Amino acid sequence: MLRRKARRGQGDHVHDDPLDAAQERRVRAVLALGGVPQADLPDGVQQVRLRLLERTASGREAPRDVSAWAAVVASNLAMDWHRARRRQDRLGERLAALRQTEHPSGEDTSLLSLAVAQGLDELPDAQRQVLVLRFYADLPVRGIAEELGIPEGTVKSRLHTAVRALRARLHEDEVV
């Protein structure tokens, strides 16, 4: 690094680069061998530069062998890239699985909707009210309690009783 500063001091006004050309090539090689795609290599090199600059800015001593330190950081970045890629792949698989879940046919949906509507009609008004606010209006328990002016525990109790009664009704009618 001292050589670079001396060279740049000769009229070259470019900012000091913590990595020389050989170190940058080594970082690129480690990233590429680590499986990082070509398109992501410049970002990886920048990450190594950034970490070296942050290390220097924080007052920590510069690594004795910048080239070796940069190679280790590049190797860690390649592992991080693969971990992130696996997380992304798993997330994609989970989303695809959710999309592929079997949707009931129009006839099944109509039958279920009719049974739920009849079940709701049979509930006491207070239970039907909290059930509709929770599951159709998507209000949280606290919001329902505030809107109705009743304690949260009462809302929870009514929801529990209403869901249990509706579930029993749907099983009784052999809808679910």
pLDDT digits (tens, 9 = 90+) for 8-61: 444 444 457 888 898 999 999 989 988 889 999 999 999 999 998 898 889 888
pLDDT band at 107 (very low <50, low <70, confident <90, very high): low
Q: Is residue 67 part of a domain?
A: yes
Q: What is the rounded distance in angstroms from the CA atom of residue 85 to the CA atom of residue 94?
A: 14
Average pLDDT, the chain: 81
Q: pLDDT at position 41, please?
A: 92
Q: What does the DSSP assignment read for 117-132? A: HHHHHHS-HHHHHHHI
1 lies in some domain:
no
What integer pLDDT is reported at residue 86 of this predicted model? 85
The count of other CB atoms within 10 Å of the CB of residue 75 is 15
Q: Which residues of 135-147 are buried (b: 16+ CB within 10 A; e: fewer)?
A: eeeebebeebbee
In a domain, 10, yes or no: no
| 94 inside domain | yes
With a CB cutoff of 8 Å and minimum separation 6, the contacts of 147 are 133, 139
| Residue 119, in any domain of the structure | yes
SS3 for 46-90 is HHHHHHHHHHHHCCCCCCCCHHHHHHHHHHHHHHHHHHHHHHHHH
Model pLDDT, residue 104: 55
Q: What is the CA radius of gyration of the chain?
A: 31
Asked if the structure places residue 65 within a domain, the reply is yes
Boundaries of domain holding 111: 21-100+107-174
What pLDDT is stored for residue 13 in this prediction?
41
Q: Which two tokens stand for residue 14?
A: 């470019």
Q: Residue 58: inside a domain, yes or no?
A: yes
pLDDT at 99: 60
Which CATH number is 169's domain given?
1.10.10.10
Q: Is residue 13 part of a domain?
A: no
- How many domains does the chain contain in total? 1
